[in-house]
Copies of this chain bind each other. A is one copy, B any other.
Amino acid sequence: MQLTRSVKHDPKQRLDEIIVKLRELNFRITPQRVAILRIFLNSQDHPSVEQVYAQVKADFPSTSLATVYKTVNLLKEVGEILEISFAGGGNRYDGIKPYPHPHLICTTCNKIMDSEIGLVDQIANELEQTSGYRIVSHQIEFFGTCPACQKK
Protein backbone atom coordinates (compact mmCIF):
# COMPACT_ATOMS: atom_id res chain seq x y z
CA MET A 1 0.00 0.00 0.00
CA GLN A 2 2.01 2.91 -1.29
CA LEU A 3 0.11 5.95 -0.09
CA THR A 4 2.75 8.57 -0.75
CA ARG A 5 4.64 9.41 -3.88
CA SER A 6 7.39 11.90 -4.40
CA VAL A 7 6.76 14.81 -6.69
CA LYS A 8 9.25 17.50 -7.58
CA HIS A 9 7.23 20.65 -7.36
CA ASP A 10 7.33 22.85 -10.44
CA PRO A 11 4.27 25.12 -10.40
CA LYS A 12 4.37 26.03 -14.08
CA GLN A 13 4.75 22.48 -15.27
CA ARG A 14 2.05 21.20 -12.93
CA LEU A 15 -0.33 23.93 -14.03
CA ASP A 16 0.06 22.78 -17.62
CA GLU A 17 -0.30 19.14 -16.69
CA ILE A 18 -3.43 19.71 -14.64
CA ILE A 19 -4.99 21.80 -17.39
CA VAL A 20 -4.41 18.99 -19.85
CA LYS A 21 -5.89 16.53 -17.38
CA LEU A 22 -8.99 18.66 -16.78
CA ARG A 23 -9.50 19.10 -20.50
CA GLU A 24 -9.24 15.36 -21.03
CA LEU A 25 -11.91 14.88 -18.40
CA ASN A 26 -14.14 17.33 -20.28
CA PHE A 27 -13.92 20.09 -17.73
CA ARG A 28 -13.67 23.57 -19.16
CA ILE A 29 -10.64 25.72 -18.56
CA THR A 30 -12.02 28.97 -17.23
CA PRO A 31 -10.00 31.98 -16.09
CA GLN A 32 -11.38 31.49 -12.57
CA ARG A 33 -10.21 27.90 -12.43
CA VAL A 34 -6.77 28.80 -13.69
CA ALA A 35 -6.48 31.64 -11.18
CA ILE A 36 -7.52 29.43 -8.26
CA LEU A 37 -5.24 26.64 -9.42
CA ARG A 38 -2.32 29.08 -9.65
CA ILE A 39 -2.93 30.18 -6.08
CA PHE A 40 -2.88 26.61 -4.82
CA LEU A 41 0.25 25.74 -6.77
CA ASN A 42 2.09 28.70 -5.30
CA SER A 43 0.94 28.54 -1.67
CA GLN A 44 3.29 26.92 0.78
CA ASP A 45 1.01 27.63 3.70
CA HIS A 46 -2.00 25.35 3.30
CA PRO A 47 -4.57 28.06 2.57
CA SER A 48 -8.22 27.99 3.56
CA VAL A 49 -11.05 28.54 1.10
CA GLU A 50 -11.49 32.05 2.46
CA GLN A 51 -7.82 32.83 1.91
CA VAL A 52 -7.95 31.57 -1.66
CA TYR A 53 -11.11 33.58 -2.17
CA ALA A 54 -9.42 36.75 -0.91
CA GLN A 55 -6.43 36.18 -3.18
CA VAL A 56 -8.38 35.38 -6.29
CA LYS A 57 -10.57 38.43 -5.82
CA ALA A 58 -7.49 40.64 -5.98
CA ASP A 59 -6.97 39.70 -9.63
CA PHE A 60 -10.52 38.75 -10.43
CA PRO A 61 -12.93 40.83 -8.34
CA SER A 62 -16.13 39.29 -9.66
CA THR A 63 -15.29 35.76 -8.53
CA SER A 64 -17.81 34.31 -6.11
CA LEU A 65 -17.10 32.21 -3.05
CA ALA A 66 -19.27 29.44 -4.48
CA THR A 67 -16.96 29.19 -7.46
CA VAL A 68 -13.99 28.78 -5.15
CA TYR A 69 -15.78 25.98 -3.32
CA LYS A 70 -16.73 24.30 -6.58
CA THR A 71 -13.19 24.50 -7.90
CA VAL A 72 -11.81 23.20 -4.63
CA ASN A 73 -14.13 20.20 -4.88
CA LEU A 74 -13.17 19.64 -8.47
CA LEU A 75 -9.46 19.72 -7.69
CA LYS A 76 -10.01 17.42 -4.74
CA GLU A 77 -11.87 14.93 -6.92
CA VAL A 78 -9.18 14.82 -9.57
CA GLY A 79 -6.58 14.41 -6.84
CA GLU A 80 -4.67 17.64 -7.36
CA ILE A 81 -5.15 19.17 -3.93
CA LEU A 82 -5.25 17.59 -0.48
CA GLU A 83 -7.87 18.51 2.08
CA ILE A 84 -6.81 18.85 5.69
CA SER A 85 -9.71 18.98 8.12
CA PHE A 86 -9.73 19.27 11.86
CA ALA A 87 -11.83 20.78 14.63
CA GLY A 88 -12.06 24.53 14.88
CA GLY A 89 -12.62 26.50 11.72
CA GLY A 90 -12.67 25.56 8.10
CA ASN A 91 -10.62 23.08 6.12
CA ARG A 92 -7.17 23.84 4.77
CA TYR A 93 -5.65 22.67 1.50
CA ASP A 94 -2.32 21.59 0.13
CA GLY A 95 -1.88 22.05 -3.60
CA ILE A 96 1.82 21.31 -3.60
CA LYS A 97 1.74 17.82 -2.11
CA PRO A 98 -1.71 16.54 -3.02
CA TYR A 99 -1.19 13.10 -1.46
CA PRO A 100 -1.66 12.22 2.25
CA HIS A 101 1.21 13.32 4.44
CA PRO A 102 1.65 14.32 8.10
CA HIS A 103 1.33 17.89 9.33
CA LEU A 104 2.46 19.96 12.27
CA ILE A 105 -0.17 22.49 13.28
CA CYS A 106 0.48 25.45 15.57
CA THR A 107 -2.55 25.94 17.77
CA THR A 108 -1.54 29.54 18.46
CA CYS A 109 -1.00 31.04 14.99
CA ASN A 110 -2.67 28.26 12.96
CA LYS A 111 0.41 27.76 10.82
CA ILE A 112 0.56 24.34 9.18
CA MET A 113 3.87 22.74 8.30
CA ASP A 114 4.60 19.62 6.32
CA SER A 115 6.52 16.99 8.20
CA GLU A 116 8.29 14.05 6.73
CA ILE A 117 7.82 10.77 8.54
CA GLY A 118 9.23 7.82 6.70
CA LEU A 119 7.44 5.31 8.88
CA VAL A 120 3.92 6.05 7.70
CA ASP A 121 3.75 3.45 4.98
CA GLN A 122 5.17 0.76 7.27
CA ILE A 123 2.65 1.63 9.96
CA ALA A 124 -0.18 1.47 7.45
CA ASN A 125 1.04 -1.93 6.29
CA GLU A 126 1.21 -3.25 9.85
CA LEU A 127 -2.26 -1.98 10.56
CA GLU A 128 -3.62 -3.73 7.50
CA GLN A 129 -2.16 -7.01 8.74
CA THR A 130 -3.36 -6.73 12.31
CA SER A 131 -6.79 -5.21 11.70
CA GLY A 132 -7.91 -6.65 8.38
CA TYR A 133 -8.80 -3.16 7.16
CA ARG A 134 -7.81 -2.20 3.63
CA ILE A 135 -6.21 1.19 4.16
CA VAL A 136 -6.44 3.69 1.33
CA SER A 137 -5.66 7.00 2.97
CA HIS A 138 -4.69 8.69 6.21
CA GLN A 139 -4.68 11.95 8.05
CA ILE A 140 -1.90 12.51 10.53
CA GLU A 141 -1.66 15.76 12.44
CA PHE A 142 0.46 16.80 15.36
CA PHE A 143 -0.69 19.84 17.33
CA GLY A 144 1.50 22.14 19.34
CA THR A 145 3.31 25.45 19.37
CA CYS A 146 5.62 26.57 16.60
CA PRO A 147 9.09 27.98 17.39
CA ALA A 148 7.99 31.57 16.71
CA CYS A 149 4.97 31.34 19.02
CA GLN A 150 7.04 29.78 21.80
CA LYS A 151 9.03 33.01 22.11
CA LYS A 152 6.04 34.91 23.52
Q: Which residues of A contact B (CB under 8 A)?
A: 83, 85-87, 91, 104, 106-107, 113, 115, 117, 119, 123-124, 126-128, 130-147, 150
Contact = CB atoms under 8 A, between A and B. Distances in A.
B87 A91 contact: yes
Contact of A146 (B83, B104, B107, B132): B132
A144 B133 contact: yes
A83 B91 contact: no
Secondary structure dominating the interface of A: mixed
A87 B100 CA distance: 14
Nearest to A104: B133
Q: How many copies does the complex hold?
A: 2
A141 B83 CA distance: 14
Nearest to A141: B139
A144 B139 contact: no
Contact of A141 (B104, B138, B144, B145): B138
A46 B143 CA distance: 21
Closest 3 CB pairs of A and B: A132-B147, A135-B144, A85-B87
A91 to B, nearest CB: 7
B86 A139 contact: yes
